[in-house]
Structure 1
């Protein structure tokens, strides 16, 4: 293995972190190897598992040089993961190609939306609905998001959706656009995602007439926010 040790103003490379994976590049681990020089050539010592102490040391070096502003609607942030709240608003929904002709007629019509919780985690994009106005906590119970194209896992069927490449707080508007500017074609599972007594078209007509999507029309899941952001 060729190892290049960079020396910038007497900065010395002391360790290397190497990612080991299976042949498919999926499951694996990260090992830390001490670097040394033998006969003028760099050499790697036997690897040891990366620990929390190693990560802490990296954070204390130049890995993080400044604080990052976190918007108030962001409720959780991790590596390639984040969760945020989208407050009640009125947005057009796209139903181009919807199998239900009555629903398809709503295409592009601005409609009141419920309060929502979006979660991007390890490449998976999920959505839930929220009751009330309070900032959600780990104990907050989540409801089904009342939309087509949502699987029973609450993951969004992305289809032709253009998901942003980045998962940073500043990218939240782009993730929102990727969701709301996709076409809602049909239910992705057999779960009834709304408690309204009428049809799906009648649900949105009622929300439009009321000027809001009422909390009483939401259906509870058996999940809390803590379970969603803390699970695998």
Structure 2
């Protein structure tokens, strides 16, 4: 299980504040500790996009042990950050850190995921072989079948399908952040529920633990479908 956030707005100060909250939530996951996820030490990844810049970084080190200087962006900013507590510890390398990236003729897609999906069934459906992380296989499905296919992945979900996606149009060059909050069973809603939070320069979608570390005013995500994160 993992902690993550997505952001749409105009302020790198917002992104830095969220980054700090993610680092502290990953160091000491107050909510996750009740379910065996006291920290998220299996690496992290970052993607930030603006019209003139794209920053993409993944590391095997714990997010709370390695603070990277974030580049400055101006204008509209789209960001996805993810800290990992890996389901499959054999795949803990920078290559398998979220967000994963795929590309097709229309767009470039980055995706971060909290939860577990049945990667063998997804790979069989796509006819692909080799070494895949389950999120990587899920993104391959979306890349092949389109962003509107995200809800199809519910049938392959083992625990949760909590997603944050950055899609960048190759022609328009515009970015869109999407999120989805779907999980099975009851009893861990305080951990699996995602929230949207107003920020001074934009809006964020966050894992619940970030509310324990400085992100205020958050409200629960409404619904389980794929939703655009829009800054009104």
Q: Same fold (TM over 0.5)?
A: no
Relative contact order, CA 8 A, sep 6+: which one is greater? 2
Larger Rg: 1
Task: Report TM bin, short chain.
Answer: under 0.3
TM-score normalized by structure 1?
Answer: 0.24
TM-score normalized by structure 2?
Answer: 0.24
Larger % of helix: which? 2
